[in-house]
Amino acid sequence: MLDNPLHILMSPKSIATVGASNNPLKMGTIQTTNLINSGFRGKIYPIHPKEKTVLGHQAYRAVADLPETPDIAFLVVPTDQVVPLMEEFGKIGTRRAVIVTAGFKEKGTEGKRREEELAAVAGKYGIRFLGPNCIGIINSQASLNMTLAPQVGKPGMLSFASQSGTYVAQTFSYLNRSGIRFCKAISLGNETNIDSVDALEYLGEDEDTKAIILYIEGIRDGRRFVEVARKITPHKPVLALYAGGSDAGARSGMSHTGAMAGPDYLYEGIFKQAGVIRVQTIEELYSHGWALATQPPLQGNRLGVITNSGGPGTSIANTANMAGMDIPCFSNSLQKEIRELLTGHAASCNPVDLTFQVGVSAMSTTLPEMIMKSGEVDALIVHGVFVFHEQNLFDLSRSVSLPHTYGKPMLATSFFDRQDAHVAFYQDHDIPVFEMPEKAARAMADLLRYRKVRERKAIETPALPEPAQEALKIIKSALKNGQKGLDEYESKKILAAYGIPVCREKLAATGDEALAAAREIGFPVALKGCSWEITHKTEKKLVCLGLQKEKEVTDSFQAIREEVRKNIPVLVQEMIPGSREFAMGMTRFPGFGPVLLFGLGGIFTEALQDNSFRLAPLSLTEAAEMVYDIRADKMLMEFRGMPAVDVPALADILQQLSFISLLHPEIAEMDLNPLIITGARPIVADALVILKA
């Protein structure tokens, strides 16, 4: 959307800087120097109480003295000066700011109060700002660099939004050595006003950005993140590194930018739901992002490998194959063409192993084109890129054009760095070069992951049904009675009101009623103590399963009553046949709303922890993806004589569960465990609903 505040911030016509002087050791001076040296074509207005000129530009004593209203206020000043300055800029009509100054909510209670004051002043004047505690922005297309480090080289195609300023400003040396260039980079800092979702939305709209990478320590509005990312990822790859999932990561993020982290499994789920590719290291974030930004999209999973050494070729093939790539043996006709370029002992199957050849034309141009043109691969990795001797320098322009000529990505790997002319030429012409063979293979695997994102069915947010009157009645009554939850019988009544299949059951207040219910339902049956105050019934010996005889029913009824020492009702249930058990659930996280769970069920649920997670509401496509996302997905197929599970039925239950969580905000948690698969059909055998305090 063009009203995104970053459109003006990333393309200003004028900037007022506060905190720059003629002292080259000051942070504000360093950043303003980079702004000037980056070639910014707009006007720069330094504000300084004493200096008449700053870095060759006329300085002004106060904000009110500026000759015009600047598009951006750029503040690198002591913490206590930020709010008064924002007030002054607000009065003259400036509506955008970048606040580098730290010392706000990341510093505790007093800092949080100060940040709230800052937000209030910005709201008063309609100012949208980055930070505080950020490191600035880069727009290489507009020759704009407001960070601590100078950026060199031509504009790139990879854009970055980061909750760490270091990963924006202190990595240029590394990125230059790796041939990676930013299109745009946004340091978000504390995200008091403009957050990572705003940045993602802006970069998704930016035509110069071909791939987006995100460094995340916490997301405040998870539902909006999913909604925005889901619109972008079918057309533009988004990669993310989340560093707040552990106790140590969350603690560090809180002291660093004040980020509110969430459990790792939650972010794993929302990234998948949004089509965001998750990486594990900052190196992968940069390098895999660069590969996706520069290379044509992968159209299949067939990978060709060319190498000048057997070991690296094997490493590439093994790593790529384990990640889902196919390494096909080339056809006889293609191998015949390849062998004409090889020595007698070289391998032509795939990987193609040249062993050691001093001439690199065959490796870099002739063989890659031959293999791409054959139609037998969808992508190529070339290992051993280097110039052995100056006489071997040749025009590589044909080689670097191959990916876009044939629409097939090509990655390279070399133990040599940018000092080698071949490596440098590849990097300068947007062929990613990795220092290790396996790293190139893992990057190619992320191109495959993005292919799957592109091929996903279109996701449409489903419309919520009307609330079920039976469910409203049960919840209202429970709250009126002061209950903190619902018993199993009431919980299943709510599920049944939304069409979720539950087992047949009846409540019994006496042994005779229990026996009558068992006769009506049909043996075998199960008996369970039924009270909202008792959650873990099995551990309290309040569950009796597989009762075949009438005496077993009456004895079990009496045993449950004696164990609990209360005249609670007993639930008489049908015994559902089936060996496969799954679990579903819902809980709520601040900033994310209801979060749905699907995984293996039964008594080993907590021990196995084979679960997937998504945010509500769920489309049926998302729900089905969630079902197949568990590690034990083979249990959904035909298994040991059992038919394949009715996955659409599971998906429908998950969707209805997501609707219940949104229609009934009084529900804090839901636990459906187990869902027993009888034949192919899922039936809820036990359920628990917890109400909000």
* Mean pLDDT, the chain, integer: 92
Question: How, if at all, do strands 525-529 and 570-574 pair?
Answer: antiparallel
Instruction: Indicate whether 128 and 78 sit together in one domain.
Output: yes
Cβ neighbours of residue 277 under 8 Å, at least 6 residues apart?
A: 237, 238, 239, 240, 271, 288, 446, 449, 450, 453
Burial 338-373 (b: 16+ CB within 10 A, else e): beebbeeebbbebbbbbeebeebbbbbbbbbbbbbe
> Residues 457-500: pLDDT tens digits?
888 889 999 999 999 999 999 999 999 999 999 999 999 999 99
Contact (Cβ atoms closer than 8 angstroms) between residue 526 and residue 538? no
Residue 209 located in a structural domain: yes
What does the DSSP 8-state code read for residue 459?
Answer: P
pLDDT at 246 over 70: no
Query: Comparing 141-150, 285-294, 446-455, which segment has the lowest mean pLDDT?
Result: 141-150
Residue 153 located in a structural domain: yes
List the one residue out of 556, 557, 616 whose CA is nearest residue 585.
616
Query: Comparing 41-50, 213-222, 359-368, 410-419, which segment has the lowest mean pLDDT?
Result: 359-368
Sign of CA dihedral 560, 561, 562, 565: positive
Mean pLDDT of 15-35: 95
Q: How far is CA 347 from CA 12, 318, 330, 362, 682, in A?
A: 57, 17, 11, 14, 52
The predicted structure's pLDDT at residue 356: 64
The predicted structure's pLDDT at residue 392: 54
Distance CA 325, CA 314 (A): 14
Distance CA 119, CA 128 (A): 9
pLDDT at 28 over 90: yes
Residues composing the chain: 693
Distance CA 260, CA 399 (A): 47
For the record, the structure tokens of 221 come out as 């509005």
For the record, the structure tokens of 513 come out as 């009623």
* Residue 109, domain CATH: 3.40.50.720
Contact (Cβ atoms closer than 8 angstroms) between residue 576 and residue 668? no
Distance CA 35, CA 90 (A): 23
Higher pLDDT residue, 1 or 234? Answer: 234
Mean pLDDT of 28-33: 94
Contact (Cβ atoms closer than 8 angstroms) between residue 441 and residue 323? yes
List the one residue out of 67, 52, 60, 56 whose CA is nearest residue 17.
60
pLDDT at 220 over 80: yes
- Name the amino acid, one letter, at 692: K
Q: Which helix (H) or strand (E) holds 253?
A: helix 247-256
Contact (Cβ atoms closer than 8 angstroms) between residue 100 and residue 135? yes
Residue 193 located in a structural domain: yes
Mean pLDDT of 121-141: 96
The predicted structure's pLDDT at residue 641: 87
The predicted structure's pLDDT at residue 155: 93
pLDDT at 157 over 50: yes
The predicted structure's pLDDT at residue 537: 83
Answer with the one of 248, 276, 304 that is the final residue of a domain.
276
Query: Comparing 256-265, 410-419, 537-546, which segment has the lowest mean pLDDT?
Result: 256-265
Instruction: Indicate whether 221 and 365 sit together in one domain.
Output: no
Distance CA 129, CA 309 (A): 53
How many C-beta atoms surround the C-beta of residue 466 within 10 A? 6
Answer with the one of 276, 309, 338 that is the final residue of a domain.
276
What does the DSSP 8-state code read for residue 365?
Answer: I
Instruction: Indicate whether 22 and 120 sit together in one domain.
Output: yes
Distance CA 194, CA 96 (A): 10
Residue 636 located in a structural domain: no
Distance linking the first and last C-alpha atoms of the chain? 39
Give the pLDDT band of residue 389 (cuts 50, 70, 90): low
Instruction: Indicate whether 21 and 159 sit together in one domain.
Output: yes
Distance CA 676, CA 687 (A): 12
Token pair 């059951």 is found at: 505
CA angle, 417 then 421 then 422, to 5°? 85
Instruction: Indicate whether 54 and 148 sit together in one domain.
Output: yes
Domain that holds residue 26: 6-168+178-276
Give the pLDDT band of residue 507 (cuts 50, 70, 90): very high
Instruction: Indicate whether 269 and 320 sit together in one domain.
Output: no
* Residue 339, domain CATH: 3.40.50.261
Mean pLDDT of 685-693: 94
Instruction: Indicate whether 47 and 141 sit together in one domain.
Output: yes
Distance CA 275, CA 282 (A): 19
Query: Comparing 124-138, 344-358, 625-639, which segment has the lowest mean pLDDT?
Result: 344-358
Cβ neighbours of residue 538 under 8 Å, at least 6 residues apart?
A: 603
The predicted structure's pLDDT at residue 603: 75
Instruction: Indicate whether 228 and 326 sit together in one domain.
Output: no
Q: How far is CA 194 from CA 127, 131, 271, in A?
A: 10, 8, 21
For the record, the structure tokens of 638 come out as 């035909």
Residue 592 located in a structural domain: no
Q: Provide the domain count of the chain.
A: 2
Give the pLDDT band of residue 2 (cuts 50, 70, 90): low
Higher pLDDT residue, 254 or 206? Answer: 206
Residue 144 exposed, middle or buried by CB count within 10 Å (0-12, 13-18, 19+): buried
Residue 235 located in a structural domain: yes
Residue 693 located in a structural domain: no
Cis peptide before 594 (omega within 30 of 0): no
Residue 438 located in a structural domain: yes
Distance CA 353, CA 308 (A): 6
Distance CA 442, CA 654 (A): 33
Answer with the one of 227, 246, 276 that is the final residue of a domain.
276
Instruction: Indicate whether 380 and 231 sit together in one domain.
Output: no
Contact (Cβ atoms closer than 8 angstroms) between residue 195 and residue 444? no
> Residues 629-646: pLDDT tens digits?
999 999 999 988 899 999
C-alpha 130 chain-centroid distance: 22
Instruction: Indicate whether 21 and 153 sit together in one domain.
Output: yes
The predicted structure's pLDDT at residue 639: 84
The predicted structure's pLDDT at residue 421: 87
> Residues 160-189: pLDDT tens digits?
999 999 999 889 889 999 999 999 999 999
Torsion of CA 128, 134, 140, 141, to 10 degrees: -10
Question: How, if at all, do strands 667-678 and 580-589 pair?
Answer: antiparallel
Instruction: Indicate whether 219 and 312 sit together in one domain.
Output: no
Q: Provide the phi-psi class of 292: left if phi over 0, else alpha when psi is between -120 and 50, else beta.
A: alpha
Higher pLDDT residue, 106 or 332? Answer: 332
- Name the amino acid, one letter, at 110: E
Distance CA 427, CA 180 (A): 8
List the one residue out of 499, 478, 508, 504 whose CA is nearest residue 490.
478
Sign of CA dihedral 188, 191, 194, 199: positive
pLDDT at 250 over 50: no
Give the pLDDT band of residue 151 (cuts 50, 70, 90): confident
pLDDT at 258 over 70: no
Give the pLDDT band of residue 248 (cuts 50, 70, 90): very low
Distance CA 527, CA 247 (A): 41
What does the DSSP 8-state code read for residue 60?
Answer: B
The predicted structure's pLDDT at residue 256: 41
Give the pLDDT band of residue 344 (cuts 50, 70, 90): confident
Token pair 């998302």 is found at: 622
Instruction: Indicate whether 258 and 220 sit together in one domain.
Output: yes
What does the DSSP 8-state code read for residue 137?
Answer: E
> Residues 521-557: pLDDT tens digits?
999 999 999 999 988 787 788 999 999 999 999 999 9
The predicted structure's pLDDT at residue 373: 96
